[in-house]
Amino acid sequence: MHARLNLLGNTVAARSLRHIISADKVLSDSTLPTATRELVKLRASQINGCGFCTDMHTKDATHAGETSTRLNLVAAWREAKVFTDAERAALELTEQGTRTADAAGGVTDDVWANAAKHYDEDQLAALVLGIALINAFNRVNVIVQQPAGDYQPGQFG
């Protein structure tokens, strides 16, 4: 299986992706916990059917010390006892922020208020922008049919 377009070999794609990666770096320097950032990236990637990003963020989370139990339960987080209330709020915000086409109102006030109970304004900003960025990465990879399975933690710097 090959991607339809070599994203890193194409000048326009590579230059554009560098900007998105730079924005993501800002978020990784925020006070939003690494575990939360990876859970959010994984959940959005699952929803969007992005195999490449699901592979990447499962491996990055594992490399950062996340347990296989928690990673295996991300798709069923509502029924799982292994997530904190703050992580649940982030996952719910992720789902509503990712499925905007499914819900005409976007993110509900209740979901936003719940997230705001657990995260300060900078962390909320990191969550919102993180959700937007992973959705952008997911869409690029799904459109070009980027193959999954070969990612190694840290391979993109």
**Mean per-residue pLDDT, 31-42:** 97
The domain containing residue 26 runs over which residues? 11-143
Residue 22 has pLDDT above 80, yes or no: yes
As a whole number, the mean pLDDT across the chain is 96
Whether 80 is covered by a domain: the verdict is yes
* pLDDT above 90: percentage of residues in the chain: 92
Domains identified in the chain, total number: 1
- The answer to the question of residue 51 being in a domain is yes
| Residue 117 placed within a domain | yes
Q: Is the pLDDT of residue 9 over 90?
A: yes
- In this structure, are residues 59 and 96 in contact, taking their beta carbons and an 8 Å threshold? no
Taking each helix axis from N to C end, the angle separating 109-118 and 85-98, rounded to the nearest 10 degrees, works out to 140
pTM to 2 decimal places: 0.95
In tens, the pLDDT along 91-147 reads 999 999 999 887 667 899 999 999 999 999 999 999 999 999 999 999 999 999 999
Asked if residue 90 is part of any domain, the answer here is yes
| CATH code: domain of residue 56 | 1.20.1290.10
Has residue 148 been placed in a domain?
A: no
Which residue is listed with tokens 């690494």? 34
What pLDDT score was predicted for residue 32?
Answer: 98
